[in-house]
Amino acid sequence: MTAPDAARDLFIALTSHAPTGVWSAPGRVNLIGEHTDYNDGFVLPFAIQHRTYAAASLRDDDRIRVASTFAADPVQVSVADLDTLFPGAGAPTVPEWSAYVLGVAWALRALTPDAPGRGFDLAIASDVPVGAGLSSSAAIEGATASALNDLWALDLDPVTLARAGRRAENEAVGAPTGIMDQMASMLGQPDAATFLDCRTLDAVSIPTGFAPAGLEVLVMDTKVSHSHSTGGYRERREACERGAALMGVPALRDLGVGDLPRAAELMDDVTFRRVRHVVTEDQRVLDTVRMLREQGPRAIGDLLIASHASMRDDFEISVPELDLAVDTALATGAVGARMTGGGFGGAAIALVDRDRVAAVSDAVRHAFADAGFGAPHLFTVTPSEGPRRDA
Ligand code: GAF
């Protein structure tokens, strides 16, 4: 069954009637610019064809019922509960999948306190792989925000909806993430990546040119699961904040590669390497945008490779499975490859000639089997559109 049908069927099982509509939002792949978003820096993600669907209707009372194919039981609260459900950053008080939905409802209510928020029923189904670093959570947030924006007649713009999604993630779920994933999902366009300045939230659509160049983006999901509400992500963020404070700047965005020698003198080795990753990664995003514009996607391979090395050696967020996927793809002729997303598991991407996708995929499968790793999930993605109403 397709995900939109699953969302609709689940909605009918929950309510015994058809939904008013079905809304969807995509997951994302980050082409380059990792852990730069919460440093006010640059990112270049694109929305993918995998989407999360929310079938929804308003109710006549103030109850909220949310159901998901991820979970056996629906969650019920009242609209009034939203005001007290998420007191601020910390452990969620509802099951995690529902905190993404209820957190968005809460953030939208906080943004529009005078709007007459009403109860709703909402059922979620998704074909975005969960735990793969492809922003299944931002897709839930985007689908929910789009549904409520229409049902509650809020008329909010995509950037405001993205901010509400991020607020849900930070304060309802308790994951200290940046704004990249929500913006990537909200601003997705076919055949283009979103070049985002995470300080100003200025976004420019950059044609990727993958298809005309005969290239595919192969996702290599290691199936090593990760979570950004726990340890490593938060620690990396704190190291970046420490580095910025030692350099006397508001955020690492304010440093350039020319500042690195001074940074090396001022901080311990670990903090310095975290800073060096972010500063050089910001530069790689700018270089990638320039290369895409001037020479096309074949020219960005070395930047992707350098990005992976920086995450592996300086930021230390890769895992052996990600390194093996990247190394194997490159050894089998990929133009470039790197892990994508927050790290500590999840997926890597490889930019591969269309007629080499099968060979690279076979090589990665064999390398994983030889290393005794679990089988990876391999599939190609294309830059795709942002949220939409499907029915
Ligand atoms: C995760 C976060 F949600 C993003 O905000 C970003 O920091 C990313 O990790 C790393 O680039 O996806």
Q: Are 325 and 349 in contact (CB under 8 A)?
A: no
Angle between helices 301-313 and 269-294 (to 10 degrees): 170
Q: How far apart are CA 106 and CA 125, in angstroms?
A: 21
Q: What number does the ligand 1 atom closest to the CA of 175 have?
A: 3
Q: Is the dihedral of CA 64, 96, 229, 49 positive or negative?
A: negative
Q: Which residues does 362 contact at the CB level (< 8 Å), separation at least 6?
A: none
Name residue 27's amino acid: G
Q: Is the CB of 46 under 6 A from ligand 1?
A: no
Q: Are 285 and 291 in contact (CB under 8 A)?
A: no
Q: Is the CB of 345 under 6 A from ligand 1?
A: no
- pLDDT tens digits for range 238-295: 999 999 999 999 999 999 999 999 999 999 999 999 999 999 999 999 999 999 999 9
Q: What number does the ligand 1 atom closest to the CA of 35 have?
A: 11
- Shortest-distance Cα residue to atom 1 of ligand 1: 342
**pLDDT above 90 covers what percent of the chain?**
89
Q: Where are the alpha helices (DSSP H) in 152-212?
A: 158-167, 180-186
pTM, entire model: 0.96
- pLDDT tens digits for range 145-172: 999 999 999 999 999 999 999 999 999 9
Question: Rounded to whole angstroms, what are the CA distances from 342 to 135, 149, 229, 236?
Answer: 10, 28, 11, 10
Any known ligand binding at 137? yes
Q: What are phi and psi of 199, to 5 degrees?
A: -85, -50
Question: How much is the ipTM here?
Answer: 0.99
By most ligand atoms within 8 Å of CB, the mutation choice from 140, 180, 201, 285 for ligand 1 is 180
Q: Are 19 and 57 in contact (CB under 8 A)?
A: yes
Q: Is the CB of 136 under 6 A from ligand 1?
A: no
Q: Is the CB of 35 under 6 A from ligand 1?
A: yes
89: pLDDT confidence band, cut at 50, 70 and 90?
Answer: very low
- Shortest-distance Cα residue to atom 5 of ligand 1: 178
Cross-strand bridge partners of residue 206: 193
Q: Counting every residue, how long is the chain?
A: 391
- Shortest-distance Cα residue to atom 3 of ligand 1: 177
- pLDDT tens digits for range 308-352: 999 999 999 999 999 999 999 999 999 999 999 999 999 999 999
Annotated catalytic residue, options 61, 62, 121, 181: 181
Domain 3-205 of CATH type 3.30.230.10: yes
pLDDT of residue 72: 87
pLDDT of residue 9: 97
Buried b (16+ CB within 10 A) or exposed e, 75-112: bebebebbeebbeeeeebebebbbbbbbbbbbbbbeeb
Q: Which residues does 30 contact at the CB level (< 8 Å), separation at least 6?
A: 43, 44, 45, 180, 184, 340, 341
In this structure, what DSSP letter does residue 124 have?
E
C-alpha 181 to ligand 1 mean position (Å): 7
Q: Is the CB of 237 under 6 A from ligand 1?
A: no
Q: What are phi and psi of 265, to 5 degrees?
A: -75, -30
181 an active-site residue? yes
Q: How many CB atoms lie within 10 A of CB 143?
A: 34
pLDDT at residue 87 greater than cutoff 80: no
80: pLDDT confidence band, cut at 50, 70 and 90?
Answer: confident
Q: Are 26 and 270 in contact (CB under 8 A)?
A: no
